[in-house]
A and B are shown apart, each in its own frame.
Chain A
């Protein structure tokens, strides 16, 4: 069974090498004349002001959080879906109950305004 993974195990490092080769080639072939103005970070055409940090916006974090919960839910549901053909109806309904409980969570987040983007 491990043989099935061999191709993926080969393709992923090759996928790393294949874009790296042109980039290295470009590093060799392109001119290399750094100066301080070229290397300053871009700020819409003016000099960079202030340090590099971003105003904390809780929205990013909440989206990632809701995603984690739904990702774990989906991971639980995949074996349930894979075994679908050998399940009687009540087992399907148990999975549906699982989904409905988390749908209630989504509705809670919606009503609380956690899904607004401002």
Chain B
């Protein structure tokens, strides 16, 4: 068992446990915080896969922007109450059985693919070149320039849509001052 494998197993256990706590936690804000821990686990996976750029993007965008957005949304709804009912449904053992069967089936199917059992893929060049290749591929005419520009239009659409939905109608006038 190499050190990398050990780190991977620990991180996988943490991420899965945090993921389960997201769903099982009765307090919504706690669930958001467990989500942040799960996202941090994914960051470690990216680092282990030698995708440093994606790891920092994960922290910067997911934990730094999206998690904060989720926490805002959770906290700004009135009276963040803890869910007082049981967090587990009555037929939970059926669900556990179904997911175990699904896991077994997927595992059986995936081991049929011959290339999957090979070692870790060797990345070309040094990490600097990888990021530069990514940058160049985003704007080069025979690679991904069209999805790149379409992504900006998509972001524009998301921005406009969110503002249209979130902004209160001006008819009532401004609320009295800031809280």
Contacts and interface: CB of A to CB of B under 8 A. Distances in A.
Contacts of B68: 64
A23 interface: no
Contacts of B64: 71
Interface string B1-24: 000100000000000000000000
B90 interface: no
Interface in A24-70: 51, 53-58, 60-62, 64-69
B116 interface: no
Given A67-B65, A97-B149, A118 B174 contact: yes
Nearest to B55: A5
Contacts of A79: 53, 131-132, 134-135, 138
Contacts of A4: 52, 127
A16 interface: no
Contacts of A87: 136, 139
A82 B131 contact: yes
B80 interface: yes
Interface of B: prevailing SS: helix
A21 interface: no
Contacts of B134: 79, 83
A68 B167 CA distance: 17
Contacts, number: 147
Interface residues of B, number: 56
Contact of A94 (B4, B57, B145): B145
Contacts of A20: none
A104 B153 CA distance: 10
Given A2-B4, A94-B149, 15 more contacts: A1-B126, A56-B76, A57-B179, A61-B69, A61-B166, A73-B152, A75-B60, A79-B53, A83-B139, A108-B159, A109-B159, A109-B163, A113-B170, A117-B178, A118-B175
Interface of A: 1-2, 4-5, 9, 51, 53-58, 60-62, 64-69, 71-73, 75-76, 78-84, 86-87, 91, 94-95, 97-98, 101-102, 104-105, 108-109, 112-114, 117-118
Nearest 3 A-B pairs (CB), nearest first? A83-B135, A79-B135, A91-B139
